[in-house]
Amino acid sequence: MEAQGSSPGGADERRRRRKPSTGYPVIDLGEVASVLARASQHGWEHTVAEFAGYMGHATVNSGAFRSKYAALRDYGVISGRGESVEITGIGRKIAIPEAEEEGGAALREAFTNTVFGAVYQESVKGSPISIESIGRRAVTRLGVAPSAQGSFGEVFARSAVTAGLAEAPGDGKITLLARPRAVSSRADPASSEPAPASDALIAERDSADRPKPKPVIDQRWPLPDGEVALIVAIDRPLSANDFGSVGEVVAKIEQLVAGLAGGDSSV
């Protein structure tokens, strides 16, 4: 007599029927713009290892770097094969826009290159909506993994604001805009200042109002009860030796994070 229950092949059959989850960029457009700005200081063509350095990683083999690198491809800001990487036309306009609005337009194009574009198109405009509901919709409508629901909503929201497609009133909500707000990848996304009339005025304003140095490296490791952060802010590009030193620090930090995540207070 056969035992009651699922057949031996039942689990395999369910596994075959299970669809793979939909991917999405794991980093927001603000971080993308920072990475491209750092990379552009060394030209438009790079190696994968060099990009790992620009993103604060010591190795190209870590899962964290691979996920972020895949996000750059999703946004359409890099291309290439093997170990060669080239910043695309969209990426170049984000890194060094020739006019104020050019960077903003490139950010919006990068945004719509991803699954974020479909979510934006089908979402209500002009009224606050919860970031949590955006994540839920991505799971139910687009097939994003349930475990990624929260992350999807947060990255979507930050990217939409950076691209001028949303405003963030707070309280875990955003307001999507029917008409994009004028932004530039080198301007504060919250600024509504109109673009100057000429390139000469742009150069004059940039030299007079040069912002404080942005982080050359800003990498964070989330923990259940906090995070570990490595931030280097300096108004010049780092050298290859600098990145080598950073790589040694990152290796130690990843060891620390592993210990903290596992509850090992002796690390």
* 235-259 pLDDT tens trace: 666 666 777 777 778 788 888 878 8
Question: Residue 9's pLDDT is what?
Answer: 52
Confidence grade of residue 186 (pLDDT, cut at 50, 70, 90) = low
Q: What is the pLDDT of residues 133-165, one digit of tens each?
A: 999 998 988 888 898 899 999 999 999 999 999
Give the residue-averaged pLDDT of 82-101. 90
Confidence grade of residue 106 (pLDDT, cut at 50, 70, 90) = very high
CA distance 256 to 247: 14
**Rounded to two decimals, what is the model's pTM?**
0.63
Residues linked to residue 221 through DSSP beta bridges, in sequence order: 228
Report CA dihedral (140, 151, 93, 117) to the nearest 10 degrees: 10
- Residue 207 corresponds to which tokens in the numbers above? 């030299």
CA distance 125 to 62: 38
Question: Residue 81's pLDDT is what?
Answer: 86
Residue 166, helix vs strand vs coil: strand
Question: Residue 246's pLDDT is what?
Answer: 75
Lowest-pLDDT range of 83-87, 105-109, 110-114, 228-232:
228-232
Is pLDDT above 90 for 168? no
Residue 78, helix vs strand vs coil: strand
